Amino acid sequence: MNHELRKRGIRRDAFLHKLGLGPVVMGIVNVTPDSFFDGGRLQNVDAAVAHARKLVAEGAAIVDVGGESARPGAVPITAADELARIEPVLARLADSIDAPFSIDTSKAEVAARALELGAIAVNDVWGLQKDAAMADVVAAAEAIVVVMHNRADKDETIDIVADIRRFFDASLRVAAKAGIPKDRVILDPGIGFAKTSRQNRDAIARLGELTDYGLPILVGASRKAFLGSLMEDRAEASLSGTIAANLAAAAAGATIFRVHEVAEHVAALRVFHAIRQGPDRAIPP
C-alpha cells in the first residue's frame, strides 16, 4: 500500500469512527460562481482555504468542496473547468486544515484527481448512477461515497420515500459490484433535488424509514428554498429554518449534516445529542 493511500485510509477510518459516536457536521466550501446560496463568495484559493479553516475551527468534522453548482437550472461545465476550480484548493487543504475533506462531484475524472490530492470521500449527487466509471474510482481509492438520491424531473404523484429506496437499492448494487464495502457508504435522500416542497418535507419526516439500511444518513437541507415556504413571510430559507429542519432530521435518524453555517449547527446538535443521550452521557467533542 502506498503512503498516500495509507494516510487517506487513516483519515477515512477516523472520520467513520467519529460519525459512529454521534451527529457530525460537514462544512460547505463552494468554489463556484453560481451556487444557489453562496455562489461567488469564495473568489480565489486563499479565500476558499481560509473559509475551510474557519469551518474546521467552528467544529466541522469534514469539509466538502464543490466546483460545479448542482442547483436547478445551473449550466453544466466540463471536467476540465471543474478541475481548474477545485485542484488548487484541494492541493492546499491537506496541509492547511486539521480535518478530512470530500469532493462534491458527479464526474469520475474529477473525483479521481480529488482523491489523489487527499480527499477521503466522494459526494455524488447522482449516487454512482450518472458516470459509469465513478464506482470503480471510489473503490480503487478505498474511499467513502455519499450516495444521493436524484431524479431527472419532479413528479408530485410519486411516494418519494419509495422512490428514494428504489434509487438507493440500485446504487448499492453498483457499489457492491465495484467492490465498495458497505461500511464506506453514506446515504443522502437528496433534499431539494427534483422534489416538490411537500416531498422534501416528507423525505425528512420519514427518514426513519431509511434506517433499516444500517448506514449513516446525510442530510443537506441548508438554506434550501422549500424551508422558506414553511415560514410566514419568508421567500427564502433562513438559518433558523435550516437548524429546525436538521434537528428534525436528527430526531428521525440522520447523523451527518451538510451545512453552510457550522458553529450554529454544532451548538444545536450538541444540545440535541446531550438531551437524547441522557444526563449521564458525555457530549462528544
Cell output for 9: 485510509
* Euclidean distance between CA atoms 123 and 125, whole angstroms: 6
CA angle 6, 115, 40 (to 5 degrees): 140
How many Cα atoms are found within 13 Å in the side-chain-facing hemisphere of 174? 22
Burial status of residue 27 (CB atoms within 10 A of its CB: 0-12, 13-18, 19 or more): buried
DSSP codes, 91-115: HHHTTT-SS-EEEE-S-HHHHHHHH
Query: Cβ distance 203 to 164 under 8 Å?
Result: yes
- With left for phi above 0 and alpha for psi between -120 and 50, is residue 153 left, alpha or beta? beta
CA angle 78, 84, 88 (to 5 degrees): 150
CA distances from 116 to 48, 91, 108, 187, 221 (A): 19, 9, 12, 23, 29
Q: What amino acid positions are annotated as catalytic residues?
A: 224, 258
Single-letter amino acid code for the residue at 22:
G
Query: Cβ distance 63 to 94 under 8 Å?
Result: no
